[in-house]
Structure 1
């Protein structure tokens, strides 16, 4: 097949095995090599950025990004190099702007015109926006605040006013007591609203800082449903049920949630509804090709007619792991080869 598929990793981080690689990287490399496609891993290092760029430009037909942005010392330099590679005709899996578009929490706000995301979902990019609007949105019930950075539920807070508010109140007083539960480990803290909002300023300042504010969906207790996607193909469905305790609402393994792996056909209604809306999702998120490996997480809700519906809670495509199902490496290798064949045919 000629040129290589380059997998980008970065040294360090909790996602590495004893050999220094992510546990799901070499299975993909090996699966491609078994199919006659050359592949190798390069560790991104900003000090060697030009050298890496030149090598990949000259030797690769495509790259696959397997770096958790939280492990990068200079995320902007890495994304800049990926953009340059895409401009040089290297097939990006995914394009860096698709990685940002699908992976950032504010993707939800861009999808409020679809049936997947409630219209009362907000993004705050400045402390002023946050302080102006959050006390108002909190009058409508329990809210969930999500920071854009972090992982495993860190900086995701369920916020509820402790004492009942008078019906005519249009914004919660800053002195009101609020009960805040963090998804990281379901621990509870009590604040005055003003003090909690001051605490949350850390999530807004700095690169890519923002907070997303959306309504709390109590049926999270029934479990979060994660679609594991290869481009536009759902490969499996992970049903993530929070721990059976009063405060638990987090669906991460770290917080004690139970995971069950189902087939897409077991969730046909959800899968069909989501796939029907994919063209609109792609358009609203910038028109880029879908990421190679990505996930969409849903929570059950009830509509006005008392029917079940599914609300999109998050998407992730920066570095979705599949270490518990390494046999998926063969599906991914097939998808990479198919995309290379399709994209090179289109450019001939």
Structure 2
């Protein structure tokens, strides 16, 4: 049960020791600017390096001394995984510390399963499904592919690894709803670098076995959206406020569909005002996110990616393609004051929860 707590004006920022995201001082490049932004508001932000063996001591310290926490640990950066860390965060939230967000909300949003959880809303196509076992993939995908080009995404991949665009080979006869045989020739393009591999369904399924050897991994099956060639559009948010938009356009070459920098995509930073229809649509769908993934009001900094499509009336439509809540970096945008936005938003969340105040004084 949450307790009545005094206001400490102190925030815990969790980081992992080491990792490629750190600079010479042992911190992420955006960490110290965040600390300074809280100082400008008269608050203290304390960086805490988490270790499993320190779990009890860290949990006790944060509960007794902090009003809120910000988790800034990338998945995979803790040597033994995130289970102990997440349990510590749960205990902090249960004691009244404001979690931004609660670990269960973070995992729900960050998982690619969110695309399936949203498939009964205007955000995700209804035919988006998950295969939790390799046998399910083998059983169902040969029929799914008869509906048109598909994209398979492993949950644990990053920078496009294990994300495949799958097309039926030239000359293959397809009957919608009738499963393709395992010797069907298919063309597979991996998003990590847009390279093409030619397989039969059987050989491709053997390739996919490796994804199921990773703990808690699974594969999402969703329709391919051809207008990805026009780019994937990312909204960067602080709370529910869009701060800027990144238009990520795939490399201009045949078969390219990946919107990662590594694959050759180009990024253009724009204001939310440049994308009024997308922002209007996204804002109208916030309740869908809360209803299906968890309270959107508890999230601090996060991103939502969208791909254009065309509806039955020939008008633009947007589908969500990914949500990122875990440890969003903004080292290249420090000059526009994102760290100040973060500090103000977190203080607002604390004051709203504690006193019902929905604003902070300048």
Q: Give the shorter-chain TM-score range.
A: over 0.9
Partner of 1:236: 244
Equivalent of residue 220 in structure 2, options 212, 237, 241: 212
What's the CA shift string for 1:175-210, capped at 9, x where partnerless?
A: 122221111111122222112112212223443211
Partner of 1:118: 125
Cα offset, 1:96, TM superposition: 0.4
Equivalent of residue 256 in structure 2, options 245, 248, 251: 248
What's the CA shift string for 1:137-188, capped at 9, x where partnerless?
A: 1111111111111311111111112133324361222112222111111112
Q: Distance in 1 between matches of 2:172 and 2:356?
A: 60
Q: Distance in 2 between matches of 1:13 and 1:309?
A: 39
Given that 2:303 and 2:324 are in contact with CA atoms closer than 8 Å, whether structure 1 keeps it comes out as yes
What's the CA shift string for 1:85-119, capped at 9, x where partnerless?
A: 11111100111011111110010111111112111
Given that 1:226 and 1:239 are in contact with CA atoms closer than 8 Å, whether structure 2 keeps it comes out as yes
Given that 1:232 and 1:290 are in contact with CA atoms closer than 8 Å, whether structure 2 keeps it comes out as no
Q: Distance in 2 between matches of 1:282 and 1:8?
A: 25
Partner of 2:78: 72
Partner of 1:106: 113
Equivalent of residue 343 in structure 1, options 322, 331, 353: 353
Q: Distance in 2 between matches of 1:50 and 1:206?
A: 29
Cα offset, 1:83, TM superposition: 0.8
Partner of 2:344: 334
Cα offset, 1:289, TM superposition: 3.7
Q: Which shows bigger deviation, 150-159 or 87-96?
A: 150-159
Cα offset, 1:279, TM superposition: 1.1
Partner of 1:2: 8
Q: Distance in 1 between matches of 2:344 and 2:171?
A: 56
Q: Which shows bigger deviation, 234-243 or 186-195?
A: 186-195
What's the CA shift string for 1:24-53, capped at 9, x where partnerless?
A: 122111110121111111111112211211
Given that 1:159 and 1:180 are in contact with CA atoms closer than 8 Å, whether structure 2 keeps it comes out as yes
Partner of 1:271: 279
Q: Which runs of 5 or more residues in structure 1 are unaligned? A: none
Partner of 1:320: 328
Q: Distance in 1 between matches of 2:144 and 2:294?
A: 28
Q: Distance in 1 between matches of 2:354 and 2:163?
A: 42
Partner of 2:29: 23
TM-score (norm 2): 0.92
Given that 1:143 and 1:213 are in contact with CA atoms closer than 8 Å, whether structure 2 keeps it comes out as yes
Equivalent of residue 61 in structure 1, options 56, 64, 67: 67
Q: Does residue 162 of structure 1 match 2:162?
A: no
Equivalent of residue 103 in structure 2, options 60, 79, 96: 96
Partner of 2:52: 46
Cα offset, 1:70, TM superposition: 2.3
Partner of 1:262: 270
Evaluate the alpha carbon distance shift between residue 12 and residue 303 of structure 1 in structure 2; reply closer, same or farther with a 3 A threshold: same
Cα offset, 1:345, TM superposition: 0.9
The runs of at least 4 consecutive aligned structure 1 residues that moved more than 4 Å come to: none
Cα offset, 1:82, TM superposition: 0.8
Give the RMSD, CA atoms, in angstroms. Answer: 1.6
Q: Does residue 36 of structure 1 match 2:46?
A: no
Given that 2:240 and 2:297 are in contact with CA atoms closer than 8 Å, whether structure 1 keeps it comes out as no
Given that 1:282 and 1:290 are in contact with CA atoms closer than 8 Å, whether structure 2 keeps it comes out as no
Q: Distance in 1 between matches of 2:252 and 2:38?
A: 41
Cα offset, 1:288, TM superposition: 6.1
Q: Does residue 141 of structure 1 match 2:148?
A: yes
Q: Which runs of 5 or more residues in structure 2 are unaligned? A: 1-6, 358-362
Q: Distance in 1 between matches of 2:76 and 2:157?
A: 7
Q: Distance in 2 between matches of 1:208 and 1:294?
A: 23
